[in-house]
Each structure stands twice: as C-alpha cells, then as structure tokens.
Structure 1
Amino acid sequence: MVDGWPRDRVAIAGVGWTEYAKDSGVSTLTLASRAVSRALADAGLGHGDVDGVACHRVGDSVQAVLVAQALGVRDLRFHLDMFGGGGTSHQVVAQAALAVASGMAETVVCWRAVNARSEFRMGGTGRAAPDALEFAYQLPYGYATPPQQYAMLARAWMHARGAAPEDLGRVAITQREHALLSERAMMRKPLTMDDYLAARPIAEPLRLYDCCLETDAAVAVVVTGAERARALRQPPVLIAGAATGGGHWLFSNGREDPTVSAAADLAPRLYRAAGVGPGEIDVAELYDAFTFLVPLQLEDYGLVPRGETGGFYADGHARLGGRLPVNTHGGHLSEGYVHGINHIAEAVTQLRGAAGARQVPGAETALTTGQPGYVGGTCSALVLRRDR
C-alpha cells in the first residue's frame, strides 16, 4: 500500500459500451444493463460473477441497486451510488478497486448511463436548480448553465496564459481528428480552424465546438483482483494509482486563482501512489467538457509547463504520433459525453494495444482524469498501467 493505495493489486478486466446516440429510445436502466453485460462478456464473465456494483449520477439515471436487481445479483456484497458530476467519475472506479483489494467484493462493475440528449439534458434549466447555496445568488441573473459557468473560467485562464481562440480551436480540431478513427464517435466530419472560428458563440469565449456533446449512452468497466484478471479473457490493465481531491465549489471557497484547478493539488498524491512521474505517461485521456480544461489539466498534472500548452498543440505534440497523444478517442468533444468513464475505457483499450488505427505504439502507462474540480467541488483521476 502506498498512501493507502493498493498499487497494481487490482485491475480492469473488461469494458463495454452502448451506441452513442442523440436518442437512445430506451431507459437508462436498459443502457446500464447493456453496457454492463458487454463489459462482462468482454472479460469472459457472467452476471453471476458480479458481487459489487458502482455508479455516479446527478439525479439523471437509475440507482445502482436496481441495476444489480436487473442483473440478478442475489448476494450483493458492495454497492456504491455516488451523487456527483464528472469530478466523481474516476472516484467510482477507485472505490470499487478498494473494495476488491480489501476483500469486500471480488468483481465490481462500474458504469455511467445517461440519456443526456433525449431525456435529462445535462445542465438544462427546465427543472429545479441544484441544492447548492451559491445558486441562490446566480439564478436571479440567469447564470445557471455549465457553459456560462465555465465560460468565465475559460476567459480567466485565457487571459492569464495569453491564449488566443486558435489555441482552443486546436484542441477541438485535434480531438476531431482522433474521433474520425473511432467507430463509436458521434462526430464523423473533419473540423477546420475556419469551421471552429465561424461557429456560433455559446457563452463567450466558448464557441459551439468548445463544448462537449449531449449524448445518450452508457459505458461500463469490470474491476477485479489482478491475479484473477490474469486468468480471464482480456489482458488485464492494472490500476496503478488513484486519487481524489477537492475543488472550486463554484467560485467562493477560498481558492484564490481560478486558473489553477484542484488537480494541481491532487497530482502529486496520484503520481506517488502509482510510483510514476508525469514524464512516464504515454497517453492522456483528460476530461474535456470544454476545450480549455484540456490544456489546463496538461499544466496542472505536470505534463506540460505552465503557459506552454499553446505551442504544445501548435507543434502537434497532442496528436497521434506526437510526444503525448491526448484524448485519442475524440473525448467528450467529438466521441461522446459519458461523463468521464469513456476516458477510462479508452485508456484501457490503448493499454491493451487494441485501439486499431488510433493506437499509441508501445503505450504502457496512461493518465485518465475526471473533471478537475470546478463547479462540482471535487476531482478524481487514475493512473493505469499495462500488465507486464
């Protein structure tokens, strides 16, 4: 155990996806059940092997225990139904890994299922405001949606770094290039800088292509002990390290500089738990609800020196074949928005060497992150490692 983390003792043994769509036509229970069943089949396991279930949601999906009932789990040894946005996405998998390492459970399935386009639109205003104190001071001014909140953060970050719109555009364009190589991606047309700059504004400085997709989908991963995983169908991917942290609860909790996220506090603990440094990361899957969060996290996780991310993208280092490929599946901007867990699934795929045309050659270590703490007040991340 390092900083309380069971390094390399727990693995991800299976991954499963539903179709990414604008209208799934089914319930979130059906989406979850499909993704879980596919992840189990990928691992070579059945529903009867599951004794733990874990998910996160924000009042927009089905309870974990109901999915367990649908799967026919008779003796549920561990369940976690975590309330929270994308900042909790990686914490769900970390908690499942701790349950396995402690012996509370043997096989835990983690997922996110959401009809975020056709049903319960993420950040929509057609329902009651979240039960957060600061919303009482925002709603009278019509300041309520994620693009509005993140736009102010984006403007502050751009001003502090001297970033231009083109710097954000390169993030969107690079991820679109990657998405074109993924059979699951929702966005199937190339994106040019002219397209990006001509797109309609959503909330200044954010344009259309700065914002993540609204997606109906589910993604699941199977967590079990590393030794057990080695006897299953797929090459195991070890959970080398995990960490959770705090964040900016909106904008008034005493974090003086909004251009540095809570991930900067979390990162040293994460790398210490995994036994690696940022220079050993081969591929990065970084939470990208909005474009500026990607270069911000490159800085805060120590992958690129602060203020140098513009050149990093301009020189092609984030592309496939570059120094550190970022969001190789297209991310939330171009593949689909499944609230963080599709980043974990892509990291697993890369470390298995199974990503096809978008494969990063020789990838051994991946960083995958949840939302870095803004608005929701929490952040989480994993370092995954190919089993040697």
Structure 2
Amino acid sequence: MAGVGETTYYRHSQAPEPEFVMCLKAILAACSDAGIDPRDIDGFASFSNDRNDPMALATALGIHELRFSNMQWGGGGGGVAGALANASAAIVGGLADCVVVHRALAQGQFGRFGRGAQVPAVPAEYALALPYGQMSPAQFFAPKVMRFMHEHNVGQEALRAIAMASYHHAQANPRAIMYGRPLTEGKYDESRWIAEPFHLYDCCMENDGAAALVLVSADRARDLRQTPTFVLGAAMGSSYRVPSSPTAEYASPDYASSHFKPVAKRLYAMARVGPQDVDVVQCYENFTGGVLMSLVEHGFFEPDEAMDFLKLENLIAPTGSLPLNTSGGNLAECYMHGLGLQIEAVRQIRGQSTSQVRDVNVSLAVGGPMSPPVSTILYGSEAAL
C-alpha cells in the first residue's frame, strides 16, 4: 500500500463538485502521497456498483495503458476489503503494476443509500418486508442484532461503547465530520430510536466525498515516499446458505451473524497471524451491532464476554486493549462505504494517525458486516513480515 488520498468530506447532498471530479481528486492525492506519476496507474478496482467508470478515469488521468479493471460484488461496504484484495491479487498475478482502489459518493446527485427503496411496486423478494414497514437498512439489520443480543445477554451499553469510541477518536481528527461534536453517555441514551436496538448514534452517517488507495508491489513500495504497508492477507465470502433477500434471510441457519465466521478463519490462515497479534482494528460500522458481531467472529472475545470487553476504556487509543475505529469511522469521521477505515488502517501502520496506537505492526480492517459477500483484510509493517 503505497499511497492514500481523500477529498474534503461533506454531509450528504452538500458536495460542491461532481462525484467524478471528487474521485479524480482523491486519486491524485493518493498518487502525490505515494510519489507516483498518475499516468503510471494501470489498473482500477472498486466495489458495490461504483459509478466512476475505469475508462473515463483512465482518459481523464492520461494513463499510458489500462491493464486491469475490477468490480467487487456485494451490497454497500461488504466488498471494500475485497476490492483491495482484488487489486493485490492483480499485482501479485502480473495483471497490473499500479492499481488504484477508489470510492466516491455524491448522494445529492444520485440518491441516498440510507433511504428506503423508491419503487412503484413491491418486488417479490421484499413481499414480506416492505408492506409491513421494513424498508431501510436499519430496519433490515436490527432483527439480526436483536437476536444476537438476546441469545448472549448483551446489553445496550456494549453498542454505546462502540459508538462512543468512534466519536472519541473523531475529536482528535480535524477531517472528521463530527470533529468538535463529542458524544456523551447521556446524549447517546437520550437520542431517538431508529430501529431498536439502534439509537441515532448507532447508525452510520451519509456523506459525500471520495477516497483512494494506490497499491504496487512490495519491492517497488520500499523505494517510494511513504513507509510501506503490506497486505498480509485478505478474505471474502459469507457464512453458510445466506439468501440475497433480506426477507428470506430470516430462514438462514445462522441468522444472528455478521457472516465473518468462515471468512475470518481464512484471513488469519493466509496472513499467518491470529487475533492476539492484532494491534488496532478498523471495523465498518453500518450499525454498531454489526461491529459487535464482527469482533466476536474475528476471535477477539466470546459472545458471552461482550459486556466485559466492550467498555470505552478498552476501545480507545493509545491505551485500550483493542483500539477501535481510531479516525472516527463511519459513525463520526465519514461514510465512504468503509474506504476511509482502510486508509486509517494504513495510517496506523505508518504512525500517522490522529489517534496513534504505539508500536503497530498488524492492523485489521473489516468490511461491511451483514452485507454479504463480506470481506476483511490485514495490513502489516515490515516487522510483521
């Protein structure tokens, strides 16, 4: 991982520029960060139906030759780490030498992700959902988390600690939308319900902006501007028999899951490390309940230990036992479908975070839970190799 770049982040529908222009600016910023000529890019990878066409990007940037183009399937941010895995695989496999992973959102120009479906009739896959008021992502995911919390006696305080950790770290990050707007226990508890167990502050923001990362071979990265960050391993997929329809998923064998159980095992096997080796975690928060289940399924604690582990003091940098979402994450920094969390994972390895953890050698970045196929990735320092 040679370079990272971002635009200014905006509240949804407030971007002053076209989405495509913001995407180009993020890519140029990532190339500048790496010390790479943008014309040397020869591949693009993205996820979740990104609208920024690789041929248009290649033309606008004036690249010499396009050798690789890839889109990772998956709803929302489930594919964010998968896009980085695909870019890495392209380089290792000789399909490309310099691949950019990008994401840009301008929801005022194209529509809001958190809004219920705007359709003239009820599609068959939503026949048992939309007519009964289950229309938005929060409403679809809430029952999964409620089931998990009920089965393992997890209280609301665990979700509150996750939210407060993100907001705590955002106060040190001037890039964060919620910079200067701290969250207290009282403010969390008094906020309105969106879909129980999700209060307002359990739900990700909706933002405009763009982010990008530049990947090259390990040997080339060592000669570039930044301290290189290495992809130790990545995995994507789902748990057993998960239907694509939110309605049909009620019948899945493991309903109360973020779908990382088999995926995390493959991640650790590839990287040859375990959860005990991870120094810092960036976990995609579509909702705090997804973080809860993802941390369990990545092996950091058992489900019945959640109330003891998920306390604010354990989740904040630099002293917590597992610092979490140290830029503010989707809840408090910005919602770029999780690509900002990937950038923060790289910054922690470089020692450049605004909430830096000491002596980081292994950094985990988890893609969007509950949106299969999900994906997850481990970054490491030179020492981790």
Give the structure-2-normalised TM-score: 0.92
Q: Equivalent residues in 2 for 1:369-388 (5 A)?
A: 369-372=366-369, 374=370, 376-388=371-383
In structure 1, C-alpha distance between the alignment counterparts of 2:143 and 2:329, rounded to whole Å: 22
Aligned to 1:316: 313
1:268 aligns to 2:278 (yes or no): no
Unmatched runs of 5 consecutive residues or more in structure 2 = none
1:167 aligns to 2:164 (yes or no): no
Aligned pair partner of 2:193 in 201, 207, 211:
201
Work out whether residues 163 and 331 of structure 2, in 8 Å CA contact, stay in contact via their aligned partners in 1. Answer: yes
Partner of 1:92: helix, strand, or coil?
helix
| Amino acid in the other structure paired with 1:148 | Q
Aligned pair partner of 1:281 in 278, 281, 288:
278
The Cα of 1:251 is off from its aligned counterpart by: 5.3
Partner of 1:190: helix, strand, or coil?
coil
Work out whether residues 53 and 65 of structure 1, in 8 Å CA contact, stay in contact via their aligned partners in 2. Answer: no
Encode CA deviations 1:277-318: one digit per residue, 9 max, x unaligned: 110000011111101111211100001222212211226211
Partner of 2:345: helix, strand, or coil?
helix
The Cα of 1:197 is off from its aligned counterpart by: 0.8
Aligned to 2:226: 234
The Cα of 1:346 is off from its aligned counterpart by: 0.3
| Amino acid in the other structure paired with 1:359 | Q
In structure 1, C-alpha distance between the alignment counterparts of 2:277 and 2:124, rounded to whole Å: 41
Pair 261,251 (structure 1): closer, same or farther in 2 beyond 3 Å = farther
In structure 1, C-alpha distance between the alignment counterparts of 2:271 and 2:121, rounded to whole Å: 35
Matched-pair identity in %: 35
In structure 1, C-alpha distance between the alignment counterparts of 2:329 and 2:348, rounded to whole Å: 14
Q: Equivalent residues in 2 for 1:1-388 (5 A)?
A: 12-22=1-11, 23-58=14-49, 61-84=51-74, 85-116=76-107, 119-125=110-116, 127-128=118-119, 134-188=125-179, 189-247=181-239, 248=242, 249=244, 250=246, 252=248, 255-314=252-311, 316-320=313-317, 321-356=319-354, 358-372=355-369, 374=370, 376-388=371-383
In structure 1, C-alpha distance between the alignment counterparts of 2:60 and 2:286, rounded to whole Å: 31
In structure 2, C-alpha distance between the alignment counterparts of 1:209 and 1:243, rounded to whole Å: 29
In structure 1, C-alpha distance between the alignment counterparts of 2:368 and 2:202, rounded to whole Å: 15
Higher mean alpha-carbon deviation, 288-297 vs 269-278, is at 288-297
Partner of 2:17: helix, strand, or coil?
coil
Work out whether residues 185 and 330 of structure 1, in 8 Å CA contact, stay in contact via their aligned partners in 2. Answer: yes
Q: How many residues align?
A: 373
Work out whether residues 51 and 76 of structure 1, in 8 Å CA contact, stay in contact via their aligned partners in 2. Answer: yes
In structure 2, C-alpha distance between the alignment counterparts of 1:284 and 1:220, rounded to whole Å: 20
In structure 2, C-alpha distance between the alignment counterparts of 1:27 and 1:117, rounded to whole Å: 10
Partner of 2:174: helix, strand, or coil?
coil
Pair 319,129 (structure 1): closer, same or farther in 2 beyond 3 Å = farther
| Amino acid in the other structure paired with 2:300 | L
| Amino acid in the other structure paired with 2:309 | F
Pair 132,286 (structure 1): closer, same or farther in 2 beyond 3 Å = farther
Partner of 2:248: helix, strand, or coil?
coil
| Amino acid in the other structure paired with 1:361 | R
Work out whether residues 57 and 112 of structure 1, in 8 Å CA contact, stay in contact via their aligned partners in 2. Answer: no
Partner of 1:289: helix, strand, or coil?
coil
Unmatched runs of 5 consecutive residues or more in structure 1 = 1-11
The Cα of 1:355 is off from its aligned counterpart by: 1.2
In structure 2, C-alpha distance between the alignment counterparts of 1:50 and 1:258, rounded to whole Å: 42
In structure 1, C-alpha distance between the alignment counterparts of 2:178 and 2:200, rounded to whole Å: 13
Cα RMSD between the aligned structures?
Answer: 2.0
